[in-house]
Chains A and B, each alone.
Chain A
Amino acid sequence: MAGFNKVVDSYEAAMAGLQDNMTVIAGGFGLCGIPEGLIAQIKKMNTKGLTVVSNNCGVDGFGLGLLLEEKQIKKMVSSYVGENALFEQQLLNGELEVELTPQGTLAEKMRAGGAGIPAFYTATGFGTPVGEGKESRKFNGRDYILEESITGDFAIVKAYKADRYGNCIYRHTAQNFNPMAATAGKITVLEVEEIVEPGELSPSEIHTPGIYVDRIIVGKFEKRIERKILSSASNNQ
C-alpha cells in the first residue's frame, strides 16, 4: 500500500500513461522553474501529437524546445513563443499550430480549469484578434469576452521542496505558472529539488496542497539562465 507516498523512483514511472495526442500542461516562465527531467522523459518516450500548454516553448535544445526536435508537439498554447529557430521553422512549415493566449488569461484558464470553472469573462483581448469569434457581454458598461478554461491529461510541475504527500513549495520566481498547472492535470507530476520529511514544511507555508499531486520525483536541474544581466556596479561580462 502506497497510501500517501506519491514518490516514484524513475522518470518512466513518473510519466507512465502518457500517450500520443494527449494534452500536457507545463509550469515555467521561459527557462525558469521548468520540470527539466520530465520534459526530457517525454522526449525519450517520443510521444507524438501532443498539445502543450505552457507560457513559452523553451529554447533550441533546452526546455520544451527539446520536444520540437522529433516534432512531438502538434499544438502549442502560449502567450509568447519564438525564442527558438526550430519553433519558427515548424510554424512556417505548417507542422506546428499555435494558439496565442494573453498571459493572464492563460494563467486564469489553468486556475479555472483546476477549480472546476468551465469558462470566465475577462476584458483582456476584447476588440483584438484574441476576442474574434468569442462570446462577449457587457457588465457595468464594460465589454468582456468569454474564455474557456483548460485542463490537461498530464500536468508537469517544477517545485522546490515537497513531502511524500505532495505538499510543496516553490522558490522565488520559479513559482510562476507551476501552482496553476498543478491543479489542472488529470495526472499531476511534481519534479522537485528535494523531498523533505512530512512535517518539515509548515502547513501554513505550503503553496500547493498535496491533494492536487499524483506523483513526485526528485530531479537534477541545470537551471539554465536565459538572460544573465548584472548590475552596472559589477562588471558586465
Chain B
Amino acid sequence: MSLSREQIAMRVAQEFGDGHYINLGIGIPTLAANYVADDIEVMLQSENGLLGMGPYPTEEQVDADMINAGKETVTAATGASIFNSAESFAMIRGGHVDLTVLGAFEVDCHGNIASWMIPGKLIKGMGGAMDLVAGAQNIIVTMTHADKHGNSKLLEQCTLPLTGVNCINKIITDLAVIEVKDGAFHLVERAPGVSIDEIKSKTAGKLVVTDNVPEMMF
C-alpha cells in the first residue's frame, strides 16, 4: 500500500534529530511538525523571519503581525527569535539550518531538483526554495513517486527548469525512502506491502537495490 500524506509526514519526522533547526516547506513537510518524537527538541525555522515556530493560534491569540512563510497565522514557541529577511536567509545560506524538507515536481539521480516552474503554466515564483536548497546542510524531498498519469518523478535528468543542482540527499515518497548519491538513486526502505518491482517500475532514473530492503517502521 502506498503511504497517505500523513504517513509520509510521519516518516519525514523520523529524520528529525534532537537539537536540529529545521525548515519545512508548504504541504506534506509542514504536516511533519505534528509527528515530532516526544523525546527530542527541534526548532522550526520560517523563512519570513521566525526561528521557533509554534502551533497555530487560538482565536484570542491571532495577530496579523505574526505569520509564517505560508502567510498563515502562527505563534512563537518558547525560545523563539524574530528577525529580518536578510538575517533569515543568512542563517539559511550560511548553512546553519540542519535540515530542509520540501516538495518537488521532479528529482534526478544527480541530486538536481525542479520544484517551481512548469513552462507554459503561470509562473508564480520560487519564493525561498532556491535559497533553501542552496544552503541547508541536508535536504529531503517529499513527493509522490509518480504523477497522476503514472509517470515517474525520479528521473535520470530533470526535464523542468531547476530549483537547484546537486543538492538533494534523500527522497521520501509514498512508496519508498531513497538516498541520492554517486549519480544514482539507492533504495533504502519501502512502504509496508509495496514490492521492489513496483518501486523499480516507477523509478525512471538509475536505481540501486540491495538484497534486503526493509519496510518502513512506524
Question: Chain A interface (Cβ within 8 Å of chain B)?
Answer: 29-33, 55, 78-82, 88, 91-92, 100, 102-108, 110-111, 122-130, 170-180, 207, 223-235
Chain A residues within an 8 Å CB radius of B40: none
Chain A residues within an 8 Å CB radius of B71: 29-32, 226-227
Instruction: State the CA gap A186–B72 with chains docked (Å).
Output: 33
Q: Which of B48, B59, B62, B134 contacts A123 (CB 8 A)?
A: B134
Of the listed residues A122, A124, A225, the one surrounded by the most CB atoms of chain B closer than 10 A to its CB is: A124
Is there contact, CB below 8 Å, between B73 and A227? yes
Q: Which of A82, A111, A176 contacts B49 (CB 8 A)?
A: A176
Is there contact, CB below 8 Å, between A124 and B82? no
Instruction: State the CA gap A229–B57 with chains docked (Å).
Output: 7
Chain B residues within an 8 Å CB radius of A229: 56, 72-74
Is there contact, CB below 8 Å, between A124 and B57? no
> Is B84 located at the chain interface by the 8 A CB criterion?
yes
> Is B117 located at the chain interface by the 8 A CB criterion?
yes
The 8 closest A-B pairs by CB, nearest first: A104-B89, A104-B131, A127-B165, A223-B64, A80-B125, A107-B85, A82-B124, A103-B128
Is there contact, CB below 8 Å, between A79 and B127? yes
Is there contact, CB below 8 Å, between B127 and A173? no
Is there contact, CB below 8 Å, between B126 and A100? yes
* A179-B64 in contact given A226-B71, A230-B58 (Cβ < 8 Å): no
Is there contact, CB below 8 Å, between A180 and B84? yes
Is there contact, CB below 8 Å, between A104 and B124? no
CB-defined A-B contacts under 8 Å, sample of 30: A29-B85, A32-B64, A33-B65, A79-B128, A82-B125, A102-B130, A103-B127, A103-B128, A104-B128, A105-B89, A106-B85, A123-B135, A125-B130, A127-B162, A128-B164, A129-B161, A130-B126, A172-B63, A172-B76, A173-B50, A174-B65, A175-B82, A177-B85, A180-B84, A180-B86, A227-B67, A227-B72, A228-B72, A231-B56, A232-B56
Instruction: State the CA gap A100–B126 with chains docked (Å).
Output: 7
* A230-B62 in contact given A29-B71, A55-B85 (Cβ < 8 Å): yes
Of the listed residues B48, B68, B72, B93, the one surrounded by the most CB atoms of chain A closer than 10 A to its CB is: B48
Instruction: State the CA gap A141–B46 with chains docked (Å).
Output: 29
Chain B residues within an 8 Å CB radius of A82: 122-125
Other A-B contacts than A102-B131, A171-B65, 11 sampled, CB-CB below 8 A, are A30-B71, A31-B64, A79-B128, A88-B122, A102-B128, A104-B131, A107-B85, A125-B134, A173-B82, A227-B72, A234-B58
How many whole Å from B112's CB to the nearest CB in chain A?
A: 8
> Is B92 located at the chain interface by the 8 A CB criterion?
yes
A-contact 0/1 string along B36-80, CB 8 Å cutoff: 000000000011111000011111001111111011111010000
Chain B residues within an 8 Å CB radius of A78: 125
Is there contact, CB below 8 Å, between A128 and B85? no
Chain B interface mostly helix, strand, loop or mixed? loop
Q: Which of B59, B70, B92 contacts A234 (CB 8 A)?
A: B59
> Is B163 located at the chain interface by the 8 A CB criterion?
yes
* A124-B55 in contact given A173-B50, A226-B71 (Cβ < 8 Å): no
How many whole Å from B6's CB to the nearest CB in chain A?
A: 13
Chain A residues within an 8 Å CB radius of B169: none
Q: Which of B66, B73, B85, B123 contacts A230 (CB 8 A)?
A: B73
Instruction: State the CA gap A128–B66 with chains docked (Å).
Output: 32
How many whole Å from A141's CB to the nearest CB in chain B?
A: 12
Q: Which of B48, B92, B117, B131 contacts A29 (CB 8 A)?
A: B48
Instruction: State the CA gap A126–B163 with chains docked (Å).
Output: 9
Is there contact, CB below 8 Å, between B134 and A122? yes
* A32-B86 in contact given A79-B127, A230-B59 (Cβ < 8 Å): no
Chain A residues within an 8 Å CB radius of B112: 127
Q: Which of B50, B70, B92, B165 contacts A104 (CB 8 A)?
A: B92
Q: Which of A130, A179, A231 contacts B57 (CB 8 A)?
A: A231
* A103-B47 in contact given A80-B126, A129-B117 (Cβ < 8 Å): yes
Is there contact, CB below 8 Å, between B66 and A107? no
Is there contact, CB below 8 Å, between A126 and B165? yes
